[in-house]
């Protein structure tokens, strides 16, 4: 899965007009996450969600759904079902890659719903950068865009934020940026005292 993730990152780099290996160092030694999700059936599925609406804080998510399905993405101002295909993966862009692309690629807002009659399973692989590496859009992209949309941060900063201060949702990245800038301001103030 990691090799597939690395190839996808190369393709994304090419699509952004930068060297295909520009993100390699960031992810090569990263500690990625694999998770098996189990969503029991529910007689009243409209009363519950498997997971609420959120964007993944990681860079890429490679998801395999079982035949039951239940993944919804928010596109064209409405929730849309992603039909399950046993011969395919679903690829979601996460918040970290949004920052790495200077906002050109947007995090995928999604949710998981439960089924009334059958339990649902999925396997998710989350590609993460190495924790101490600096997450920043390449200079070439920032030059082309004329503005840098996100401050530099590390994956460990964002991971800490989502594990200790904020549950991932559709506003994780903007709230993380506010928290990060506030934390740096507080640290600077304490140093000046």
Residues recognised as catalytic: 120
Distance, CA of 54 to CA of 52 (rounded, Å): 6
What Cα–Cα distance (Å) separates residue 125 from each residue in 56, 60, 62, 188, 191? 11, 8, 5, 37, 40
Q: Among the residues of the chain, which ranges form H helices?
A: 2-15, 24-27, 95-100, 139-145, 155-160, 172-192
Q: What distance lies between CA 131 and its chain's CA centroid?
A: 15
Q: What distance lies between CA 20 and its chain's CA centroid?
A: 20
């Amino acid at each position: 899965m990691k090799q597939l993730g690395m190839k996808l990152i190369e393709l994304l780099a090419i699509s952004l007009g930068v060297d295909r290996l520009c993100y390699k160092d960031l992810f090569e030694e990263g500690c990625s996450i694999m998770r098996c999700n189990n969503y029991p059936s529910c007689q009243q599925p409209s009363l519950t969600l498997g997971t609420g609406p959120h964007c993944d804080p990681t860079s890429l998510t490679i998801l395999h759904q079982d035949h039951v399905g239940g993944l919804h993405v928010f596109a064209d101002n409405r929730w849309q079902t992603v039909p399950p295909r046993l011969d395919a993966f679903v690829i979601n862009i996460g918040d970290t890659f949004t920052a790495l692309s200077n906002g050109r690629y947007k995090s995928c807002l999604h949710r998981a719903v439960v089924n009334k009659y059958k339990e649902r399973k999925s396997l998710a692989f989350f590609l993460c950068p190495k924790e101490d590496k600096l997450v920043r859009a390449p200079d070439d992209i920032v030059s082309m865009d004329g503005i840098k949309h996100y401050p530099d941060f590390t994956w460990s900063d964002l991971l800490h934020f989502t594990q200790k201060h904020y549950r991932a949702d559709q506003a994780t990245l903007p709230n993380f940026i506010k928290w990060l800038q506030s934390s740096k301001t507080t640290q600077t103030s304490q140093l000046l005292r």
